[in-house]
Structure 1
């Protein structure tokens, strides 16, 4: 490319005629000074122009690649609509955060050996189930591992929406996915915990290998050497940086390390996930577009999600998680004990309820403190809408599940004063629970709302096995009764004489592993 002449540069000056051949005039001296100035500029213009063109071209390329990357990543993901297969679902209890204006997000993550193809996955095996809870203030996250060998109640037939957890059968946890796909897994979980699942993600284990390789490997730590032919894994004791194939063997190995149980494998998986987070943080993954794209390409290529979890939503969630300190990402192993009928299986301990309560109400795990400046969330009121069923039309059975004598009798008197019919009141025989739960049968939700309105913050729970009688469970720290708008009695509420305060033994400190914890610990 040749340099422009002075004349051509001068002719670019506003008001000049580059084609005019003219002689010097009285203004020649001024013209000469302008020409001198232009001459100085002509040595700078080509360089500046090249830089400008280069930057513009780079921005265009980045934009085009960005759009292409978005289309590529978005096209990688298989999406499945399972909304019609989920039946009656829990209500969300916690409210939106005052600052972020966001609600908590609950995601079911399923590790599978077979990726979907636009329809529900049935027949595939699932070795890993995680429930990820992202707090509404986006300052903390809880990741709960569910043992695949758990024996729990489940719908008898997940294709029949009338079959629920409450009227179901006992089934091994991973059989839900194998027999009924992700919809059955989510229905079972929601029925057991009363936690609403916003999204699900299924990760194919084959894509998992590529994700690890895209990170450049991940460091693992094992107390003893591993030589497992089934897992095709050989590792020395101590810290080792593994590639994708080795990582897959490590998170799935069961023999030759620990007690060989699924619970031991969960410990390794949680330590591995901590290591992945640490690796992504220290390697500045977000500052390496090439590395980030390889990771996201591998991740999305191995992923099946619900229709609502598009790449825009994923981006928002990822950005939220990126702002959470690693000390506020907690991995929790569900507390279990051997299942009496088959000690090779496990059942959930009552203390698991404390985990589900924390997630349901978007509160810290028992025994942990929220990040500084986190306001205490408030449950949504159960009586926001007008009450449509008169108390005299409602029959209630009251159970004292607090362990404190006299609470059921007191609640029965409070209800009768407001005009309710109390069928019976009795003392529960199970482990003490917390708060008030109102259970109701088909077609009785409005009646249940009227009962729940007496105790602000009470939780509603559908139970297909119940008839027209509403069940009221009074646990520890149950709120005081209040007068409801459509009460029918005229006498004032009796002054309470029983106060059931305290911490249920099921809500003791829940052990948790933070993402910044040493992977060898």
Structure 2
């Protein structure tokens, strides 16, 4: 098996030969379920906090306040909250093996700015397409090394090359939105979570046979264990034209099924099983330092109990195809500015701010 020696930015920009060279339609993503799943699991765990205090060491924290300094946007004028939620796709360990080699590095294939207005009864998630060209401001890497600013950088490469603090700095610079919290969830962590809940049933739309991962599924409802689930959300070669578009759809479907499965579990009625699920969830989690404890996460989760997932709105950042490179997109104006302004002011988002020229919406 050959080793992938491409750089993180090259890997994140790659597409199979079937899709390379043509403009890819930015996708609307429903992966707000990442956050919903996390809140659901931890809210249940919070009710039995005395049992779960040992889980604190599972949660990885990032001191973003120290890395970002004081030169940041103003906080919301209300008691609303803004979160940056990243779904990281590690190229090492289990993910790397399924992707065709144990390769260092990681990518943030999912990036959502989640706005929770004052009152916390609804939420809006703004998806930033991974191929969006942005200006990365001067920022600090995880080791403290300063990184100079750069223009026309693909958004997905910021995390891969420079870490979470630079991603937060970039999102705040492009939006003017102060991010109150940061949550990162590693897909590989879902393997143990799926096994802990006894598997997840998904409706496979078409047969999948992926020689790279060994995944071989017939069409129809299939109950997947942890290893199969990880292969399912990682596969590209077994579906469609081999591009990321098919895989994104599978990830959305799988995470929705996972959420439904967790909701069926009697977490409070089975402390042992509940502990295993909470342990798996926290091992997959990285947060800002203010949330890096089970107590803080549980309190935050309980504060969001009033948010009905059915009322959550997912919006893609309005984008247009880049004139120099049709495989990349840029923020569409004035729509994007209107969207970020509404979030900064904790105001209703106008319909015009939800239209994306690149999708015809």
State the TM-score, normalized to the length of structure 1: 0.50
Q: What CA distance in whole angstroms lies between the structure 2 residues aligned with 1:267 and 1:357?
A: 30
Shift of 1:264: 4.6
Q: Which residue of 2 aligns with 1:314?
A: 297
Range with bigger deviation, 184-193 or 209-218: 209-218
CA deviation profile, 1:349-389 (whole Å, cap 9, x unmatched): 3444454344333345556xxxxxxxxxxxxxxxxxxxxxx
- Whether the 8 Å contact between 1:147 and 1:266 is mirrored in structure 2 is no
1:125 alignment partner, SS class: strand
Which residues in structure 2 correspond to 1:54-65 (within 5 Å)? none
Residues 1:356 and 2:333 are matched in the alignment: no
Larger relative contact order (Cα-Cα within 8 Å, sequence gap ≥ 6): 2
Tell me which of 301, 325, 329 is aligned to 2:312.
Answer: 329
Q: How far has the Cα of 1:146 moved from its partner?
A: 2.9
What is the CA–CA distance in structure 1 between the aligned matches of 2:235 and 2:129, rounded to whole Å? Answer: 15
**Number of positions where the alignment pairs a residue of Structure 1 with one of Structure 2:** 293
**In the alignment, which residue of structure 2 is the partner of 1:5?**
none
Q: Give 1:237's match in structure 2, choosing from 219, 223, 242.
A: 219
The residue aligned with 1:106 is 83
| Residue 326 of structure 2: aligned partner | 343
- In structure 1, the residue matched to 2:72 is 89
Cα RMSD after superposing both structures: 3.2
Do the aligned residues in 2 keep the contact of 1:110 with 1:128 (CA within 8 Å)? yes
Once the two structures are superposed, the pairs formed by residues 103-502 of structure 1 within 5 Å of their partners are 103-113=80-90, 123-155=105-137, 158=140, 168-258=150-240, 260-309=242-291, 310-350=293-333, 351-366=335-350
Cα distance change on mapping 1:247 and 1:224 into 2, 3 Å: same
Asked if structure 1 preserves the Cα contact closer than 8 Å seen for 2:115 and 2:343, the reply is yes
Contact in 1 for aligned 2:88/2:110 (Cα 8 Å): yes
Separation (CA, whole Å) in 2 of partners of 1:67 and 1:145 = 36
8 Å CA contact 2:90–2:105 kept in 1: the answer is: no
Change in Cα spacing, 1:161 to 1:84, as seen in structure 2 (3 Å) is farther
Distance 2:191 2:159 in 1: 22
Relative to the length of structure 2, the TM-score reads: 0.69
Aligned match of 1:76? 58
Q: Which residue of 1 aligns with 2:34?
A: none
CA distance in 1, matches of 2:253, 2:341: 25
Deviation per CA, 1:389-418: give whole Å up to 9, x if none: xxxxxxxxxxxxxxxxxxxxxxxxxxxxxx
List per-residue Cα deviations over 1:454-480 (Å, max 9, x = no partner): xxxxxxxxxxxxxxxxxxxxxxxxxxx
Structure 2 residue runs of 5 or longer lacking an equivalent are: 1-47, 93-103
Deviation, structure 1 residue 111: 1.4
CA positional deviation for 1:135: 3.1
Does the residue aligned with 1:247 lie in a helix, a strand or coil?
helix
Mapped partners of 2:213, 2:348: distance in 1: 37
Q: How has the CA–CA distance of structure 1 residues 134 and 242 changed in structure 2, closer, same or farther, with 3 Å as cutoff? A: farther
Distance 2:256 2:342 in 1: 22
| SS of match in other structure, 1:342 | coil
Q: Deviations over 1:249-292 (max 9, x none)?
A: 33333334345444554444333333333222233444433332
Q: Distance in 1 between matches of 2:320 and 2:221?
A: 31
Q: Return 138-147 or 351-360, whichever deviates more.
A: 351-360
Q: Distance in 2 between matches of 1:332 and 1:258?
A: 25
Q: Which runs of 5+ in 1 are unaligned?
A: 1-64, 97-102, 116-121, 368-504, 511-521
